[in-house]
């Protein structure tokens, strides 16, 4: 079956623009995670969904970041009024279980804010 897909793969935004990043998890995977990965660093946790419920959003860096998964499948990460420090790769991962289980990552969206 298909793996985790993300779109767009690359996004260039001008400072102040809003962006929306999409994640299609593996079908049937209950858990979905969003991460932010800066160059030379490991992925940093942003938020976690179990089905449609956002159970943990403690990693979202500011209130400009918002994530949703309304039907428990596809998820969108929205960043409002983008800033240069938002430039990073945004990774989505899905899992059959919670954080204690193997996560399958999508290819990521590389966001560049100019």
Partner 1 sequence: RKEVEQDPGPFNVPEGATVAFNCTYSNSASQSFFWYRQDCRKEPKLLMSVYSSGNEDGRFTAQLNRASQYISLLIRDSKLSDSATYLCVVSSSASKIIFGSGTRLSIRP
Binding residues vs partner 1 (CB under 8 A): 33, 35, 40-45, 48, 50, 55-56, 91, 98-108
Output the smallest distance, CB 67 to partner 1, in A: 13
Distance of CA 94 to the CA centre of its chain: 10
If the CB atoms of residues 33 and 65 are measured against partner 1, the closer one turns out to be 33
Beta carbon nearer to partner 1, 16 or 97: 97
CA-wise closest residue to 33 among 2, 64, 6: 6
Minimum distance of partner 1 from residue 91's CB (angstroms): 6
Q: How far is the CB of 55 from partner 1 (least distance, A)?
A: 6
Tally DSSP H helices, then E strands, for the chain.
0, 11
Taking the C-alpha atoms of residue 76 and residue 78, their distance in angstroms, rounded to an integer, is 6
């Amino acid at each position: 079956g298909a793996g985790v897909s993300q779109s767009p793969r690359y996004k260039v935004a001008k400072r102040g623009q809003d962006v929306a990043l999409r994640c299609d998890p593996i079908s049937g995977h209950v858990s979905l995670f969003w991460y932010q990965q800066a160059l030379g660093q490991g992925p940093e946790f942003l938020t976690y969904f179990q089905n449609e419920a956002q159970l943990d959003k403690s990693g979202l860096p500011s209130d400009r970041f918002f994530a949703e998964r309304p039907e428990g499948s596809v998820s969108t990460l929205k960043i409002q009024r983008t800033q240069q420090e938002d430039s990073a790769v945004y990774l989505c991962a899905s899992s059959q279980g919670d954080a204690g289980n193997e996560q399958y990552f999508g290819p990521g969206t590389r966001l560049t804010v100019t």
